[in-house]
Amino acid sequence: MGLGHVLGKWFARVRPEAQTPASVPALAPAPHPAGPVAQPTDFDRRMMARAIELAEAAAAQGEVPVGAVVYRTADGAILAEAANRREADHDPSAHAEFLAIQHACRAVGDWRLNACSLAVTLEPCPMCAGLIVNARVGRVVYGAPDPKAGAVESLYQILADPRLNHRPEVVPGVEAKRCAELLRAFFHALRESKARPSEPRS
């Protein structure tokens, strides 16, 4: 008798309703909106302003304009900050908030950031939302929603998923219009540059 046969009989005995795929219920979506939602503090607004400055600097370097700051929630002390570096580093994981969280963990000497807040100009993607959960970031403050890849509210609600062991407080939409305009202007300029005929070489 093979191991697969034995395990199959055991599983059927423990969960008889799971014998056929049709009987397995789909996973329920997480509640929406994501997590406990709070109003931004003065610290949050100041940190978002700094994140926007970082995003602007990234755009000047040809990076998608996203900036992020990790700071202590209690006093607003900045622990780390970063902007997108995917093009410069040839690294698909080099998102602003991913880098800022890594730097902050090194700064505090701990992988847990429960006492910290993250301000980021764009709604985090699934990769970054997963890191936020794993790093136990206490609060997430973000600017523009991301309808194509947002994993806080837009496409997924990872930060509010009750199946996970950490759910940060979420403060959405801080300076959302300004953050979104940065992205629109960047991609508009990018499209224009691709459509424009190249200069003839001398």
What is the set of active-site residues?
A: 97
HSE, side-chain direction, 13 A CA sphere, residue 170 = 25
Phi and psi at residue 193, to the nearest 5°: -65, -35
Torsion, Cα 162 149 139 90, to 10 degrees, reads 120
Cis peptide before 33 (omega within 30 of 0): yes
The whole-angstrom separation of Cα 171 and Cα 140 is 6
Beta-carbon contacts of 132 under 8 Å, excluding residues fewer than 6 positions away, are 97, 101, 118, 124, 140, 159, 168
The whole-angstrom separation of Cα 170 and Cα 4 is 44
The whole-angstrom separation of Cα 62 and Cα 113 is 30
